[in-house]
Amino acid sequence: MKELLLDYIDNNSGSNSYEELLKIFKNNLTELLKNNTIHFKDDFRLGGELLEIRVKLLFEDIGYDIFNGREKLEDFVIKPKDNSIPQKPLVIEVKSGKSPSIGRSDLRQLDDWVFDLSGEEKARKEGLKSAPSLIFGVSGSNTHHPTPHKGLIIYNGSINTAFNNRDKHRIGGNEIEFAEKRDFCIMTFESLINAVTKVNTQQVSSEDFWKDIHNTRGELQYS
């Protein structure tokens, strides 16, 4: 391996910084994962960067273009397909931990990213624009943000505990309440895997999965 790296450095002038080589190495490993040349360890054990890569590949597997978020901020953003309803991008945070439930601090972090990307600061300074609406058959107006985004958090916990040995109800009530108030969708990593399996086996369409995420305030479960 050392000789291969030295050959690469010799043949690619300027590519001898640790950071650059590490980035190239990781990109190549990801391509090998896509081709099933190499594989992850057990899904229930995944955390950190490996979990993020796995989540990204799962969304790509069902046809979504998923982009890395801003540096040191949100993990990913998925822009809607042309035919997706609603036409609202997803802001995704991927977390793992020993606790069965996502933490309130993780949800607050997602709230910050959605706040930024949805243009809420601008909306608060300049005032929200009005948009026509029809509620219960009565014409009126609704306020909306310049670039509304939907928050989605994927959580793998309790990490290192097999999925079938985990508690059935894993997300705490306070966290569910927070998500409902912020219009966030929470999915366990296991639920995401099940959802992607259903899409790939045509039990659920990718369009309906997209709608399910956007229509969920709180936890979205797929079994």
- Angstrom distance (rounded) from CA 24 to CA 19: 9
pLDDT of 50 > 80? The answer is yes
**pLDDT value for 140:** 39
Q: Please, which pLDDT band fits residue 147 given cuts at 50, 70 and 90?
A: confident
Contact between 149 and 88 (Cβ < 8 Å): yes
Q: Please, which pLDDT band fits residue 133 given cuts at 50, 70 and 90?
A: very low
> Rg (Cα) of the chain, in Å, rounded?
20
pLDDT tens sequence across 61-78: 999 999 999 999 999 999
Q: Please, which pLDDT band fits residue 94 given cuts at 50, 70 and 90?
A: very high
**pLDDT value for 13:** 67
**pLDDT value for 118:** 86
Indicate the range of 81-85, 108-112, 141-145 predicted with least confidence.
141-145
pLDDT of 205 > 80? The answer is yes
Q: Please, which pLDDT band fits residue 138 given cuts at 50, 70 and 90?
A: very low
pLDDT of 85 > 70? The answer is yes
Amino acid letter, residue 160:
N
Amino acid letter, residue 122:
K
**Section 30-47 average pLDDT:** 92
pLDDT above 70 covers what percent of the chain? 87
Higher pLDDT, 165 or 170: 165
Higher pLDDT, 4 or 159: 159
Record the pTM. 0.84
